[in-house]
Structure 1
Amino acid sequence: MSMCEKEEIQCPVCGTTGEFEMWKSVNTVLNPEKKEQLLSGSLFQYICPHCGKSYNIDYPMLYHQMEDQIMIYYVVQEEDIQMVEEQFRGDFGSAESELTKVLKKDMDSYLYRIVGSQRELMEKIRIFDAGKDDRIVELVKHIISDAVADKNPDLRDANLYYLEEDGEFLFVVVNSKGALGTVPIPKGMYEDMAEGVRDKLPDLRSRSEFRIDRAWASKALGME
């Protein structure tokens, strides 16, 4: 199911209070239009009805792409990660939340992920929509990120995010100032990496790993 809660937001500029819809759970079968709003960022944007100022509103979200059996939980508070991991594994305890109601159904074949930012949530959706393995993408990203930092030391703390544009696969370079540009993924690099680690990774839909990010890639590559 999808779940939307209405919250009152006070504009920090003009002080006017307005209503904002927080989509705590999005099911792409029930509300397919919300997927595009999520990918565009508008699902997290509040626009003041008085002065027109736009603000990003941060809140946790369960993204459920039911037609492809994919579930991604965006966690805002680090302390909630363990709870989500336990519930993804089927250990519900006494918890009774939107997540447990969904997970108590037969979902052993699902692909589960936990992300820690809105950009990461959008990226995971794009990766899976492209039919790619996010673990391979993270390994490729790690290598390219190091190459970018070697040429541009100021970008050592920048993050890369997967994007498909005009049929070309790219990484968008983002730092504290925002998106700085794109870096193409060298032709065949994804396929070569996938072939090289094919026998070393568990099934993509196994419930063994939920956080697939730079820290995971560093560990997988033996760099930490």
Structure 2
Amino acid sequence: MSLFETTSIQCPVCDTLSDFQAAGSVNADRRPDLREEILDNSFQNVTCPSCNEMMRLEPVVNYLDVELGLWLAAYPPRQIGEYLALEDEVQMLFDESYGAAASASAQEVGADLQPRLTFGWPATREKLFLRKEGLDDVVIEMLKLDLLRRLPEAPLRPGVELRVTSVSDDALGFVWIETASEEILQAFECNKALLVEIEGNLDAWAAVRSDLTRGLFVDMQKLYLGEGRDAA
């Protein structure tokens, strides 16, 4: 079931306070239209009734997609610094819903789900897009790290992210995007040969893979956010 609740948002332009329906959970198998809205970046877009300013509600939502084998907990980008605590909370929630603490039937469903924690709509959309395209999100994060060495001008800074937005037979489309505003700062394509090269040499990336997959927040940004989580 997809659940929505009323929330009040103040327009940043005219200061009008208006009520909108904010998503608390999305079941994409029952509402595939919501999956498509996330993919086309229209999900939770709202308009101020006074001045027609376009706004987007922050993500505080759980997303279930049994068809694609994906379970997401999405939070506002301003909370990314809390990712270690949120990983623990989200892991507990997943365990209670589909993991070790769930019913036998729920565990059967959960066995085919990839749980992830995301911050902001660009990251949430990317996880869904990669899963839909059959791409390994961990390897994609490795590819991003490799690209940072190759790009002459990488605008990497707090609040700016590198996200995959498209895929073709020969290339992956990337954008540097400002997370809060979703403004695209740069766009470029990467030859898929670089991805194939990494996939064929995973042993060399073992330490990075271990760091990326230690917890449900699988994103290269975690490597720059303090000491991170200790290895078990």
| TM-score, structure 2 normalization | 0.74
Match of 1:181 in 2: 186
Contact 2:6/2:19, CA 8 A, preserved across alignment:
yes
The two structures, once aligned, show a CA RMSD in angstroms of 3.2
CA gap 1:9/1:215 in 2 versus in 1, 3 angstroms: closer
Contact 2:68/2:131, CA 8 A, preserved across alignment:
no
CA gap 1:193/1:63 in 2 versus in 1, 3 angstroms: same
Q: Deviations over 1:50-105 (max 9, x none)?
A: 221112221311111121221011133424332112333x2x4xxxxx899x9652
Q: Deviations over 1:21-43 (max 9, x none)?
A: 11111111111111122223332
Match of 1:213 in 2: 219
> Structure 2 stretches of 5 or more lacking a match?
208-212, 225-232
Segment drifting more, 58-67 vs 74-83: 74-83
**1:170 aligned to 173, 182, 191, which one?**
173
**2:202 aligned to 176, 197, 200, which one?**
197
2-side partners of 1:163 and 1:72: how far apart?
Answer: 18
Q: Deviations over 1:130-149 (max 9, x none)?
A: 1010011000011112322x
1:140-151 alignment runs, 5 A limit: 140-148=143-151, 151=152
Residue 152 (structure 1) aligned with residue 153 (structure 2): yes
Contact 1:139/1:217, CA 8 A, preserved across alignment:
no
1:40-55 alignment runs, 5 A limit: 40-55=40-55
1-side partners of 2:175 and 2:102: how far apart?
Answer: 33
Identity percentage over the alignment? 20
Residue 122 (structure 1) aligned with residue 122 (structure 2): no
Match of 1:59 in 2: 59
Cα shift at 1:18: 3.0
Instruction: Give 3-state SS (helix, strand or coil) of 2:31's partner.
Output: coil
| TM-score, structure 1 normalization | 0.77
Contact 1:9/1:19, CA 8 A, preserved across alignment:
yes
Alignment size in residue pairs: 204
